[in-house]
Amino acid sequence: MLLRVLGTAAGGGIPQWNCACPGCSGARAHPGRRRRHASLAVRAGEGRWYLVNATPDIGDQIEAHPDLHPGPGARQTPVAGVVLTDAELDHTLGLWRLREADRLEIVATAPVREAVEDRLRLGEVLTPYTTVTWRELDTRRTVALDSSGSGVRIDAVPVSGKRPRYAAGAPGHDAWVVALRLHDPDTGRTALYAPAVAAWPDALHRAAAEADCVIVDGTFWDDEEPRRTGISPRTATAMGHLPIDGPQGTARILATLPGRCLYTHLNNTNPLLDPAAPEHKELARLGLEVADDTLVIEL
Ligand code: MLT
Ligand code: MN
Ligand code: ZN
């Protein structure tokens, strides 16, 4: 199984267009600190890749990775489809950018599909441009990543009922946010991708404990970070992101897992954006890593 990390930033990216915070200003001064919106490409077969989430950076993300470039046919793309972990705007806005495709396959749970179809009106808007097909991610059964049915298998692990703000009035469902367990039957190896973690349910823990590689929501370093930095009156947990550090934090959980563990979806307030921050040493002491936008994982 081959995974290419396409981005590691939370909504807004780093730098965020309207933000002069230290994280964003630091990324303007040091281009190596820039991070695109969190996303992953998973190889489904020879010359076939699925993207996990479609971010506002999707065009640049495809250009930055030669494996995702079109060819040899003039309009032949290796991008076979998009798997959604949730319906948040930072994970779905890129779908509209793929309108030049002959067809666009989207794999998502029922509530995510409903949000994107009924509230964001993707089908209505894209029908004049391309053919959108949906495949359901059902949290009770394993599906093939590739529509051909071969190769990597996916299990959607329910994480939380956190709805996007634009869908605040939509019905509750335990699969508004899922983690993806990606299993390669040929190598027997498993990765778990969980870029939006409002809670750490038992099913997520079991999947994380069995995985060879775990990539987890690292939006905020600590629970008070959004309030301290003035971006929100709410704590990280109240905003739907378990922090990395502290008693509710994910670091102490990840430190007990046998697999390789990395953080993604970093917010621009996160001290980890500064490569010299002491928080990196704390993570290293726990055996944990921060993913970057060029990371390739082979399992
Ligand atoms: C989140 O990760 O909580 C969302 O993407 C926030 C947002 O963009 O509204
Ligand atoms: Mn987000
Ligand atoms: Zn900023």
Tell me: the pLDDT tens digits for 87-136?
999 999 999 999 999 999 999 999 999 999 999 999 999 999 999 999 99
Q: Tell me how far the alpha carbon of residue 58 lies from the centroid of ligand 3, in angstroms.
A: 20
pTM beyond 0.95: yes
Pocket test for ligand 1, best of 90, 92, 93, 120 (most atoms within 8 A of CB): 90
What is the average pLDDT across 1-21?
98
Q: Which atom of ligand 1 is nearest to the CA of 217?
A: 2
By alpha-carbon position, which residue is closest to atom 6 of ligand 1? Answer: 11
Q: Which segments of the chain does DSSP mark as H helices, in order?
A: 22-29, 58-63, 89-92, 94-97, 110-114, 122-126, 202-210, 225-228, 251-254, 279-285
Residue type for position 222: D
Residue 3 Cα to ligand 3 midpoint, Å, equals 28
Q: What's the gap in Å between 8 CA and the centre of ligand 2? A: 10
Residue 150: pLDDT over 90? no
Give me the mean pLDDT over the 54-72 stretch. 98
Across the range 22-29, mean pLDDT stands at 98
What's the pLDDT tens digit per position in 184-234?
999 999 999 999 999 999 999 999 999 999 999 999 999 999 999 999 999
- pLDDT per position as a tens digit, 228-252: 999 999 999 999 999 999 998 999 9
Q: Given the structure tokens 């003039």, which residue do they identify? A: 74
Mean pLDDT calculated for residue range 20-39: 98
Return the pLDDT at 223: 98
In the beta sheet, which residues pair with residue 14?
Answer: 35
pLDDT at 229: 96
Question: What would the pLDDT profile of 246-279 be if each residue is shown by its tens digit?
Answer: 998 999 999 999 999 999 999 999 999 999 999 9
| Percent with pLDDT over 90 in the chain | 99
Residues flanking ligand 1, CB < 6 Å: 10-11, 88-90, 165, 196, 240
Residue in 19, 53, 89 to alter for ligand 1 test, most ligand atoms within 8 A of Cβ: 89
Q: Return the SS3 of 51.
A: strand
pLDDT at 284: 98
For ligand 1, what atom is nearest to the CA of residue 241? 3
Report the separation in Å between the CA atom of 189 and the middle of ligand 2, taken as the mean of its atom positions: 27
Nearest CA to ligand 1 atom 8: 11
Residue nearest to atom 7 of ligand 1 (CA): 11
Cα 270 to Cα 220, 228, 243, 275: the distances in Å are: 5, 11, 10, 11
- Determine if residue 188 is left, alpha or beta; phi over 0 gives left, psi from -120 to 50 gives alpha, anything else beta: left
Residue 243 CB-density burial (10 A; 0-12 exposed, 13-18 middle, 19+ buried): buried
CA proximity to 218, closest of 179, 238, 245, 239: 245
Range 17-33 average pLDDT = 97
> Tokens standing for 77?
């793309």
Q: What does the pLDDT average to over 43-70?
A: 98
Question: What distance in angstroms lies between residue 163's CA and the mean position of ligand 2's atoms?
Answer: 11
* Atom from ligand 1 closest to the CA of residue 240: 3
Distance, CA 85 to ligand 1 centroid (Å)? Answer: 13
Return the best residue to mutate from 88, 217, 220, 231 for the ligand 1 pocket (most ligand atoms within 8 A of CB): 88
- Give the mean pLDDT of the chain: 98
Other C-beta atoms closer than 10 Å to the C-beta of 172 total 8
